[in-house]
Amino acid sequence: MKKLLLIIIGILILGVVGFVLFGKKQPVQVGCTMEAKVCPDGSAVGRSGPTCEFAPCPDVSTKTPTDASSKISAPEFVAPLERAGERVTKKPFGIFIDPKTSPIQPEKFRGYHTGTDFETFPEEAKSDVPVRAICSGSLETKRSATGYGGVVVQKCEFKNELITVIYGHMRLTSVEAAIGKDIAAGDIIGVLGTGGSKETDGERKHLHLGIHKGNMVNIRGYIASKSELSEWLDACQLFSCSL
């Protein structure tokens, strides 16, 4: 009888130990929903873990800043007229002009050409031809001048240096911007003057585009010395004049 009692007590002890060791409740597996939370940096995180909490968002302060070189920016210089590469056919920058050999007849000028002439097409003879600012900068002057008729001057920067841009043979009444107003590259300044009229000082309908280095306004279209060309820039080196 005593032996049987010891056996029963041993069985009970084993049962208690087994319950303690193996009878703990196992965690219930939970299926999380497919919801997502949008984080401040634009990324998204989902639910996870036994309680289906949203995962933490990335720390935006540790993200690598965007490389400035990867940003898209507007071009610094643009062509003043559409199909610019088809228009430089008679008087490019730096050509020497005299009344006998000039590609334009009759010719009244002589010297090295400080600008680039953009010709008009036959179908544009009686229509308005809009001229766009080649750079961003303020309008310096708009007035009539001998050899140009209407001339507009804009101040811009090139390689952190001031330049003045001369738009010659313009119809001044079409230039709405006030003196000192900023004009962005690509904005329409005005239209070309009518050929053979006071708007072009009797010249053909075309755009004379000159770019002079420095802050001083210099609208000379021709210079006597070739060495003086170093004071001017070739427009076709700032934007494409090729076909």
Structural domains of the chain ordered from first start: 84-237 (2.70.70.10)
Q: How far apart are CA 115 and CA 219, in angstroms?
A: 10
> CA-CA distance, 108 to 196, in Å (whole number)?
14
- The pLDDT tens digits of the residues spanning 11-20 come to 666 665 555 5
Tens of pLDDT, residues 66-109: 443 333 444 689 999 999 999 999 999 999 999 999 999 999 99
- How big is the chain, counted in residues? 243
The C-alpha atoms of residue 155 and residue 226 are separated, in whole angstroms, by: 24
- Check whether 131 has a pLDDT greater than 60: yes
State phi, psi for 6 to the nearest 5 degrees.
Answer: -65, -40
CB contact at 8 A, 163 and 213: yes
Q: Residue 148 and residue 205: Cα distance in Å, rounded? A: 11
Q: Quickly state the pLDDT bin for 10 (edges 50, 70, 90).
A: low
